[in-house]
């Protein structure tokens, strides 16, 4: 960063702005991989504890805060998983800017929403983004452009194969008892199963 850019950044920071520098377009895959790796131990442990797919949690974090643990939205949502203050309190989060504490609160909230919406990922994400009241009011996904874009972004990230990784295969039995194999993480999450590579 040049000295001019450093002075601009210092001025913005002093004025109360949060400066988030994202990678140049050609560097983004490496950047996201490093950010994911940084928080992966917390995400995996907590997601496993609550029976969620760690890749799903990572997709939510990427969409919510771009892995910025100090992120604060205009609405007041905070931390990696962008928890509103009341949500943070409800799920026992003591320090919203502590990655482990924030991820634990966000995962608990996602788990409750998944149960509430019978494993429906899109409704769960809509409620996480726009609130449960909005989902109730519209009988499903609200017509808000921001929420619809958010859902698409999380699902695209969640379904995207990570470079150098094998495809996860999920196995479960359907209502008639037949064994089903799929590589669709959303279908697997709706069935409450985890995958193997």
CATH number of the domain residue 68 falls in:
1.10.530.10
CB 97 within 8 A of CB 78: yes
88 φ, ψ (degrees, to nearest 5):
-60, -45
Residue 159 shares a structural domain with residue 170: no
Query: What pLDDT does 39 receive?
Result: 95
Model confidence at 169, pLDDT cuts 50, 70, 90, reads confident
Instruction: Specify the pLDDT at position 166.
Output: 62
- Does 74 share its domain with 170? no
pLDDT for 19 = 43
What is the span of the domain harbouring residue 196?
166-197
Same domain, yes or no: 68 and 36: yes
Higher pLDDT, 192 or 152: 152
Mutual orientation of helices 54-65 and 28-50 as an angle, nearest 10°? Answer: 130
pLDDT number for residue 34: 86
Confidence class of residue 156 from pLDDT cuts 50, 70 and 90?
very high
Higher pLDDT, 172 or 57: 57
Can you give the pLDDT at residue 4? 53
**How many alpha carbons fall within 13 Å on the CB side of residue 154?**
24
pTM score above 0.75: no
Percent of the chain with pLDDT over 70: 79
Q: Does one domain contain both 181 and 98?
A: no
How would you label 36-46 residue by residue, b for 16+ Cβ within 10 Å and e otherwise?
beebeebbeeb
How many structural domains compose the chain? 2
Q: Based on the domain organization, do 122 and 190 belong to the same domain?
A: no
Say yes or no: 140 and 189 in one domain: no
Which residue matches tokens 């001025």? 11
For all residues of the chain together, what is the average pLDDT? 83
Question: Is residue 143 over pLDDT 80?
Answer: yes
Same domain, 97 and 180: no
107 and 194 in one domain? no
Place of tokens 């919203």: 96
133 in catalytic set:
no
Active-site option among 49, 64, 133, 171: 64
* Alpha-carbon torsion, ordered 113, 117, 122, 125, to 10 deg: -10
- Specify whether 49 is located in the same domain as 146: yes
Same domain, yes or no, for 147 and 176?
A: no
pLDDT value of position 174: 77
pLDDT at 29: 64
């Amino acid at each position: 960063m040049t000295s001019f850019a450093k002075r601009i950044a210092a001025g913005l920071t002093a004025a109360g702005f949060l400066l988030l520098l994202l990678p140049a377009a050609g560097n983004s895959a490496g950047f996201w991989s490093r950010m994911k790796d940084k928080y992966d131990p917390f995400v995996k442990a907590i997601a496993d504890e609550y029976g969620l797919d760690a890749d799903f949690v990572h997709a939510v974090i990427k969409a919510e805060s771009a892995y910025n643990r100090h992120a604060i939205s205009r609405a007041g949502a905070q931390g990696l998983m962008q928890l509103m203050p009341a949500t943070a309190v409800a799920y026992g989060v003591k320090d919203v800017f502590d990655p482990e504490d924030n991820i634990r609160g966000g995962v608990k909230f996602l788990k409750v929403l998944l149960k509430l919406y019978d494993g429906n990922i899109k409704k769960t994400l809509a409620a996480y983004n726009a609130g449960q009241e909005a989902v109730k009011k519209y009988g499903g996904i609200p017509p808000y452009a921001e929420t619809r874009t958010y859902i698409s972004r999380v699902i695209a990230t969640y379904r995207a194969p990570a470079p150098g990784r094998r495809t996860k295969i999920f196995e479960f039995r359907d209502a008639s008892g037949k064994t089903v194999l799929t590589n669709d993480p959303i279908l697997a999450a709706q069935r409450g199963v985890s995958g193997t590579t």
